[in-house]
Amino acid sequence: MPTRLARALPVALLVALFTGASAAQAPQSPAPYTVVSRDGRRPLPTRTFDGQEMFAVDDLARLFTLSIKEDTIAGGLTIGVRGQSILLSPNQEIASVAGRLISLPAPPARDGGAWFVPVDFVSRALGIVAGTPIELRKPSRLIVTGDFRMPRVGGRIEPLGAIARLTFDVAPSTPHTIAQDGNRLLLRFEADAIDAALPTTSAPELIAAVRLEGTAGISIELGPRYASFRASDLPGDRGGVRIVIEIIAKTTEGTPAPIPPTAPTDTPPLLDLVPVGTLRTVVIDPGHGGAEDGARGPSGTAEKAVTIQVARRLKAALEGRLGVRVILTREGDSAVGLDERAALANNNKADLFISLHANASVRPAAAGAEVFYLSLEEYGDEAQRAAGGPREALPVFGGGVRDIEVVPWRMAQAKYIDQSGTFARTVEASLRSRLPMSPRALMQAPFRVLVGANMPAVLVEMGFMTNPAQETQLASEAYQTDVVEGLVEAVIQFRDGRGVPAPAPVQSERR
């Protein structure tokens, strides 16, 4: 009888997990975790000691093939994993993992001869020595092991009158398709499984239900007023993707209702671009590279070497202090075309583009930093047309339509010229408090690398390589740090909407 019960219990608990009972478990008998891998799913029960959820070490040993040896004299437990060992001591909130100390939220617990460890032991200790990724996901009570692709998917529904907006936040970003299949939409992910928290419908006329479909799909059952849909992908938080599906209702004549120009509720419109105050991706462009040295100083310092050094420092500073994603247009000393540099920024949907250069002059005395943004005069009418870009509704794969803004590639910058000006003035002011500036430090010019950038973009000349004193400065850590500090401050001010506003355009300054 006890063996039958022991066999039936995990099955019962697994059923409970899949029927959604996990959200409302009793404190005495929490639902087990599920270990998922390419081999399948296996339950891992927990027990609660002093409010702390724990796994039995014996269960872990069985699932992860560990060897266990208890030291009866010292009272410790040695867990062997692939030739390495984890040492546990009673009443100690620390464990030694392959010689490294890690902390645990509680000391191990004992019940009779059995040892129990806090659930975090799996990620903090086993994850280090297992030789394969082990990810503990507490909210969904999952342990994902190996290269098992199981993105987290969180969904919500917003009823907006004639539209119901369904938003899925997916992390990490996973390729997916959306297709209509009769009276439902199928959202399929290129993954082994999904870890989904699905919404209950609040617009039953348009969305009857949202449920899991197969191992890595979501089925959106359509309501009676469904007419059409449109879908778009937006960058999500922390490398994720946000999928927005808008379900559009029929009017009484059976044609799709006109889309309200502004969302009738107070929720921010999800389809807008990045709102003010958010900055997700910055692209830094270290000028020149490869066979193209750029400017050269009298002692032989090459512009391409200085620009990559500063770019790396700036990347580290922006990532560390602002938590933004930073991409360099070249990682090493390689030749990259000017169009490719802008294309990289566009393809990564960067919010800012900063091109780093060092200047040169036939006059060795020339000195000082300069900030450039694009001038549009050289591009004539084409720039005017691009700035007021038309919108066209184009059909998308899987049905529905999507508003696509049509701007000629070579004129992408025209739309951002005012923002680029603000950012350039902000950079100029920020650098001016740290570095010697050129007599004319803020200029507009028809620079090729800027014109294709589909985001605010500036080009910074950090100083004159041909000036012997400035050559030494440009190669020095102190000067490079000043440049980086100035740029970081300018990026923060621009992000927070505190950029330097446009005065009368600076055309010329005299010394």
Q: Which residues bind other proteins (CB under 8 A)?
A: 287-288, 292-296, 303, 338, 357, 359-363, 365-366, 370, 372, 375, 377-380, 410, 438-440, 443-449, 451, 459, 461, 464-466, 507-508, 511
Helical (H) or strand (E) element with 437: strand 437-445
Shortest reach from residue 448's CB to other proteins, in Å: 4
Among 80, 60, 62, smallest CA distance to 70 is for: 80
Nearer to other proteins, 63 or 336 (CB): 336
Q: Which amino acid is at 135?
A: E
What is the C-alpha separation between 219 and 185, in angstroms, rounded? 6
Residue 285 CB, nearest approach to other proteins (Å) = 11
How large is the angle between the packed helices 477-495 and 417-432, nearest 10 degrees?
140
Cβ 491 to other proteins shortest distance, Å: 22
Report the residue number, 244 or 360, with the smaller CB distance to other proteins.
360
Nearer to other proteins, 248 or 475 (CB): 475
Residue 406 C-beta: closest distance to other proteins, Å: 21
- Output Rg (C-alpha) for the chain, integer angstroms: 29
Residue (262 or 508) nearer to other proteins, CB? 508
Judged by CB, which is closer to other proteins: 136, or 360?
360
Which of 303/485 has CB closer to other proteins? 303
Which three-class secondary structure state does DSSP give residue 24?
A: helix
Of residues 42 and 440, the one with the C-beta less far from other proteins: 440
At residue 401's C-alpha, the angle toward residues 386 and 414, to 5°, is 10
Query: Considering all CA atoms of the chain, what is the largest pairwise distance in Å, rounded to the nearest integer?
Result: 97
User: Can you read off the two tokens belonging to residue 458?
Assistant: 């500036």
Report the nearest approach of other proteins to the CB of residue 378 (Å): 6
Least CB distance from residue 503 to other proteins, whole Å? 17
| Residues 326, 319: Cα–Cα separation, whole Å | 7
Beta carbon of residue 308, minimum distance to other proteins (angstroms, whole number): 15
- List, in sequence order, every beta strand (DSSP E) within 18-175: 33-37, 40-44, 47-49, 52-56, 67-71, 76-81, 84-88, 94-97, 100-103, 109-111, 114-118, 134-137, 142-145, 152-160, 163-171
Q: Which two tokens stand for residue 17?
A: 């997990």
